[in-house]
A and B are shown apart, each in its own frame.
Chain A
Amino acid sequence: MNQVISGVPLNYYILLSACIFAIGVLGVLFRRNAIIVFMCIELMLNAVNLLLVAFSRYLSDSAGQVFVFFIMAVAAAEVAVGLAILTMIYRNTKSSDIDILNKLKW
């Protein structure tokens, strides 16, 4: 009972979180629309959240769930500021394509 809580081993949660995180990275590399890139960053944050909750559940430590709480707060702040930046970029360049924002690129 200790090693298999609710019938699902911890390994499965690790595999699922790695899958979601990899899909998020794939989306960041794959798409050029800045809003989709933001959504994929949200996906990555959620993968980490899910893994933290799973670890906190299997180790019986509530600190992990408090970390998830803080990650949610930071994600909300990040989305608010990020979307404000995005609307400003759109206002100036009339596009949400990230490949035209290459002034800081070597």
Chain B
Amino acid sequence: MITKYLFYFLSVLIIFSALMVVFSKNPVHSVLYLIVTFFGIAGHYFLLNAQFLAAVHIIVYAGAIMVLFLYVIMMLNLNKEVEPHKPIWIKFAAVIAGGLLMITLVGSLRGAEALAMKTPADQSIGLVENLGKTLFGQFLLPFEISSVLFLAAMVGAVMLGKKETH
């Protein structure tokens, strides 16, 4: 039953730090709380026996994306609390809209747990071997197309980031 307590601990950690991402005043603190959230989600992947995805998640999110965020915040010098705030009624409406969306999502996914009981649990689907067989067999074309997407993103980022000379 230790996985159950780990699940509760990680969930509370994730929800708390996700809320702190939204509500903390300093953007640098938001990024740091987002890193905590990502590590919590990687812990959930470990609990779900998806070890390869957990490693990739830490490498991609905590390693690459968060460094980009921190770098941009540093470059733009946004670490001051200079941000203007929305009026209070918009904040109130945002909270209500988020809560309603959550209720709708939970309600619409309520019947989904009946699906899960049909097949016996396979412990090894998250390992590199099985994932690689699926990725390079059934999903080979999307994999190659995603490399083209990366090329386009790289060229686009360089184009956008370049200073206009004329």
Q: Digit string of A62-85 for contact with B (CB within 8 Å is 1, else 0)?
A: 110110111011111111110111
Q: Is B83's CB under 8 angstroms from A97's CB?
A: yes
Query: A19: which B residues are within 8 A, CB to CB?
Result: 15, 18, 102
User: Main SS of chain A's interface residues?
Assistant: helix
- Shortest B163–chain A CB gap in Å is 8
What 7 A-B pairs have minimum CB-CB distances, sorted nearest first? A26-B98, A22-B102, A29-B94, A77-B153, A58-B116, A84-B160, A27-B22
Q: Count how many pairs of residues, one from A and one from B, have CB atoms less than 8 Å apart in the complex.
A: 253
Query: B93: which A residues are within 8 A, CB to CB?
Result: 29
Q: Does B9 contact A (CB under 8 A)?
A: no
- Shortest A48–chain B CB gap in Å is 11
Q: Digit string of B27-40 for contact with A (CB within 8 Å is 1, else 0)?
A: 10011001001100
B131: contacting residue among A5, A62, A75, A87, CB under 8 A: A62
Q: Is B160's CB under 8 angstroms from A88's CB?
A: yes
- Shortest A10–chain B CB gap in Å is 4
CA A17 to CA B31, docked complex, whole Å:
20
Q: Digit string of A4-47 for contact with B (CB within 8 Å is 1, else 0)?
A: 01111111111111111111111101111101101110110010
B78: contacting residue among A9, A35, A66, A75, CB under 8 A: A35
A18: contacting residue among B109, B117, B161, CB under 8 A: B109
With A2-B117, A70-B146, A76-B65 as given contacts, are A50 and B97 in contact (CB-CB < 8 Å)? no
Q: Does A59 contact B (CB under 8 A)?
A: yes
With A8-B3, A35-B78, A77-B153 as given contacts, are A59 and B22 in contact (CB-CB < 8 Å)? no
Q: Is A59's CB under 8 angstroms from B15's CB?
A: no
Extra A-B contacts (13), CB below 8 Å, given A19-B102, A32-B84: A23-B98, A24-B18, A25-B101, A43-B37, A46-B61, A53-B45, A53-B48, A60-B120, A65-B50, A83-B72, A83-B157, A84-B160, A96-B83
- Shortest B65–chain A CB gap in Å is 5
Q: Digit string of B56-67 for contact with A (CB within 8 Å is 1, else 0)?
A: 110011001100
Q: Is B135's CB under 8 angstroms from A42's CB?
A: no
Q: Is B153's CB under 8 angstroms from A53's CB?
A: no
